[in-house]
């Protein structure tokens, strides 16, 4: 290369070197700033700040370097009088779309991973639901990015959308039950009528047990006999689901019968029982307690007793119930009354007794 040619290329070489150096320096500076922001934000309990800076760091650095390379390419083409074609513009648009896709995908992935860190603040929604929402956003972002890239490459997406609509209709008709289960699983993750570990009851199907797994197609429930029960998710959208794990209290509603001869003691017995329940620390006094005479039974004076325990734990509830029922029995006995049992009283007229006695006295 002659000195004159080198002299002619010197300006463009200098511009290219300055552009590369400036873009590299800017990329290094942005990386230092974002690394410090990430270190600072990582000390907070928020899921959104440090994950954003951490996800943006490599994407911004690569984007600045690619921008420097693009400017350098423009300088070279301008020097040689080359006009930028439509292909070059399409490539730049594709690169921008890919960078945005990479940024959003990294951000969603890092955010999902931060949910599993115990030192972070708790979410208002449970972890499986949050992960499901992020996966759905990632899927939607991937589809939208793919359609955008195809359109930039000159591929008509209207035909693809039309084909997808027809294909989706055919698949929907062929796999109706499977789609119903998939949408049922989505409803379970969104509405959260129960979560893993809770007890559920499907009265219409006679299914009761503890939830072990909530899948896309079916939910696994472990029965009391430890037998796994696999329930299609579509069933949960068509029937009532009882969730005893979320009850606020456990109710005790029983009827105790006293003897008819204890009628004079009825008022004092019921009042003493109600006073005892009203002062019991294991009962919910806001819901109230009740001990009232309600009916004349066949063989007893029926008293209705109702109260609500503060605990919902089964073992604690049974212990409290055991203690209270024993004390109610002691109260009845202390008042001089007793529980009734089925009895029958026969009223025989006196003349019938006399006739029977005369008949027995008459010799054959």
Q: What is the mean pLDDT of each run of 10 residues along the chain (364 residues)?
A: 64 84 91 88 75 89 89 80 73 88 90 73 62 80 85 69 58 64 79 87 88 86 90 86 88 93 93 94 91 92 94 91 94 92 71 61 53
Q: Are residues 182 and 230 in the same domain?
A: yes
Q: Of 220, 205, 295, 309, whose CA–CA distance to 258 is shortest?
A: 295
Decide: 39 and 47 in contact? Cβ < 8 Å. no
| CATH label of the domain that carries residue 314 | 3.30.70.100
Does a structural domain hold residue 163?
A: no
Q: Are residues 220 and 292 in the same domain?
A: no
Question: Which residue, 197, 214, 245, sits at the end of a domain?
Answer: 245
DSSP state letter for 289: -
Does a structural domain hold residue 357?
A: no
Q: Are residues 29 and 97 in the same domain?
A: yes
Tally of structural domains, the chain: 3
Q: Are residues 201 and 288 in the same domain?
A: no
122 phi/psi in degrees, rounded to 5: -75, 150
| Rounded-to-integer distance, Cα 319 and Cα 173, Å | 55
Q: Are residues 262 and 239 in the same domain?
A: no
Decide: 219 and 211 in contact? Cβ < 8 Å. yes
Q: Are residues 236 and 298 in the same domain?
A: no
| pLDDT score at 81 | 74
Q: Are residues 216 and 237 in the same domain?
A: yes
**Residue 239 domain boundaries:** 178-245
Question: Which residue, 217, 245, 273, sits at the end of a domain?
Answer: 245
| pLDDT score at 196 | 87
Q: Are residues 218 and 296 in the same domain?
A: no
Q: Of 244, 243, 247, 235, whose CA–CA distance to 205 is shortest?
A: 235
Helices (H), the chain: 3-41, 49-80, 86-114, 127-152, 157-174, 176-191, 266-278, 314-334, 350-361
Decide: 209 and 223 in contact? Cβ < 8 Å. yes
SS3 192: coil
Does a structural domain hold residue 239?
A: yes
Does a structural domain hold residue 2?
A: no
pLDDT tens sequence across 265-277 = 999 999 999 999 9
Does a structural domain hold residue 135?
A: yes
| pLDDT score at 168 | 59
SS3 231: strand
Does a structural domain hold residue 164?
A: no
| CATH label of the domain that carries residue 207 | 2.30.30.60
pLDDT tens sequence across 191-201 = 888 888 889 99
| The token pair that represents 31 in the structure block | 């990386």
pTM: 0.53
């Amino acid at each position: 290369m002659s000195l004159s040619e080198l002299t002619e290329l010197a300006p463009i070489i200098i511009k290219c070197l300055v552009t590369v150096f400036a873009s590299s320096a800017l990329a290094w500076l942005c990386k230092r700033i974002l690394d410090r922001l990430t270190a600072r934000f990582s000390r907070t309990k928020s899921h959104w700040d440090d994950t954003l800076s951490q996800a943006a760091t490599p994407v911004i650095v690569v984007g600045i370097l690619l921008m420097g390379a693009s400017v350098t390419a423009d300088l070279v083409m301008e020097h040689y009088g080359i006009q930028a074609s439509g292909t070059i513009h399409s490539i730049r648009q594709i690169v921008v779309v890919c960078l945005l896709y990479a940024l959003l995908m990294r951000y969603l992935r890092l955010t999902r991973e931060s949910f599993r860190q115990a030192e972070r603040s708790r979410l208002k929604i449970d972890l499986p639901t949050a992960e499901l929402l992020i996966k759905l956003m990632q899927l939607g972002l991937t589809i939208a990015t793919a359609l955008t890239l195809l359109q930039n490459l000159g591929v008509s997406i209207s035909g693809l959308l039309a084909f997808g609509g027809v294909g989706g209709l055919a698949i929907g008709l062929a796999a109706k039950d499977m789609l119903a289960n998939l949408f049922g699983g989505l409803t379970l993750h969104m509405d959260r009528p129960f979560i893993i570990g809770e007890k559920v009851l499907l009265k219409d199907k006679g299914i009761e047990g503890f939830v072990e797994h909530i899948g896309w197609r079916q939910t696994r429930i472990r029965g009391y006999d430890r037998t796994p029960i696999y329930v299609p998710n579509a069933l949960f959208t068509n029937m009532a689901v009882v969730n005893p794990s979320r009850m606020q209290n456990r109710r005790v509603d029983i009827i105790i019968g006293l003897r008819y001869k204890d009628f004079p003691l009825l008022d004092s017995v019921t009042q003493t029982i109600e006073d005892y329940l009203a002062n019991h620390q294991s009962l919910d006094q806001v819901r109230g307690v009740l001990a009232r005479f309600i009916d004349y039974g066949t063989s007893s004076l029926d008293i209705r007793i109702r109260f609500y325990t503060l605990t919902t734990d089964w073992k604690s509830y049974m212990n409290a119930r055991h203690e209270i029922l024993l004390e109610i029995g002691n109260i009845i006995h202390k008042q001089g009354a007793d529980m009734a049992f089925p009895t029958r009283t026969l009223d025989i007229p006196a003349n019938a007794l006399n006739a029977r006695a005369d008949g027995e006295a008459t010799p054959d």
